[in-house]
Chains A and B, each alone.
Chain A
Amino acid sequence: MKRGMLCFLSVCTIASLLSLAAPIIEVTDQMDQTVAVSTPVERIVSVYGMGTYYLYALGASDRLVRAWYVGVKTIAQAPEEMFRFEPHLEELLTSGDPSIEEMIALDPDLILVDGSRHGAFAEQMLDLGVPVLQFCVETPERLQEALLLVAETLGGEAQRRAALFGESYHRITATVAEDLALLAAADRARVLFIGTDLLRVASGDMYQTLLLEAAGGSSVSAELSGSWNEVSMEQVLLWNPDVIIIPPYGPVQPSDILDDPVWQSVAAVRDGRVHRMPRYIAPMDTPVPESLLGVAWLASVLYPEQVSIDLASEVHAFYATYYGMPLSEEELEALTRR
């Protein structure tokens, strides 16, 4: 125990001495903490399941030494596509609560953390002298800030991509707004965004609702607050949404709703407008770069006549640019169906 501590202290001293030679940049993370990061950043640990995907989008995924991936806890759960863009998935993937000792053993230059979940862990790592960036991504604007923040520590190509992402997002939302400018308020789509269960719906505070609004729709459950809310069937009938959207994860399929006798009175079911978001890698209704495609997909589903976005080319361009992966015809088909 004593020898371990001694070793540890020596390593820290030498490391800090060495790092004095390297350039240090100061960034302010999304919990308003100023963090000193010594560049170049070679070893990154991402405890933030969504932040991991930021690194792929910014082209810095080769610097990952350990990562949490949102929605994937074990290798068995990982979809095949993941291995295409991350051949080292087996060594990188981990889950559960982060252990401080493991982190130290990995000797990271930077750790990405969800500020609301692992704030205490972040504090402890900062005290030990390891740079930690805490994220709090609740809106698409914050997502862009987050990408720029990470890119700042990585420099060069990463910053170019982050800027490109911001531009793309603005381009898409602007196109949608323009296309829908002549649409009367009464014709706006009223959407019910369901979660992993038929009667679990998104609240007004959630990212999904903001995506809906960016896509020109409005959420019928915007009056609710917090996270996912459970509602009664009666409330759904009262809202009577025009469209029902199902997230790309969870067991609910459109047929579960379309075939259910109790749901038949809902406008969306009568018109057959029940859609499940497609999924390729990360879920596009969560604060990951894919949410760019989420807006595009939602807009083309809600307003197939009016919106002029070419969904297929957007999707193709996205995966080519941010993941370096060209998609095949079938994959493209699957991702753009409604």
Chain B
Amino acid sequence: MRIDADRLSYAYVRGRDVLRKVSFSVGAGQVAFLLGANGCGKTTLVECLAGIRTPRSGKVLLDGRSLEQYALRERARRIGLVPQIHEPVYAYTVFDIVLMGRSPHLGLFARPGRRDRMEVRRALEAVGLWMLRHRPYTQTSGGERQLALIARGLAQGATCLLMDEPAAHLDPRHQHDVFRVVTQLASDGFTVLVTSHHPNNALLYGDSAILMIDGAVVAQGSPESVLTAEHLEATYGMPFELIHGPNGSKAVLPKAPR
């Protein structure tokens, strides 16, 4: 599935635009990284893409059709919002958390049935959490929680995942686990958009990168072409240098701070 942002604009307070005519697209099988400084509008953009917020102007397109033409539940069956991990109020099991993802398929008075439980099983197996399904969510590690939320998005039946800073709060090992799953899903045809504060993750795992400054897209394309030293300095307000590793790997580092 293809998701397009078409000149999206949004303002919380009139006169102060948080998103300025943002346009980009992510195709099936792609992992796109959305990068930018704190407060540049990434979360707002994700909420607009998921259909939670209505943009002031511009449209979101799913496979060429405007998102507004889809009912709320229809959107949920196509797009899975994977938020940042947070401390939940109640200690649901991992299974129950993922089961909640079946909401778009259940009416007001309905309860999950066999079909729903099968979908949950598939989703948990896809992310490798089936063995932990009875563990209370509160007793899982950060990485496991993030995978559970991805599984929830899968249980929705979504083919497009919008992930809001999945690397936050995760150590390098767990970050790797999560992105491994993400890239696997992409190769199975999923469309994935990831917001991030880590340009290196974009270089490691992304197929494309979108750079935002103050609510406007300044560059998009392959990660290498977007994550240049000038672009990064303009975005984060400090000098960077691009490093090439011996095996063709690349990384960006702040330039000699001390």
A and B: direct contact (Cβ < 8 Å)? no
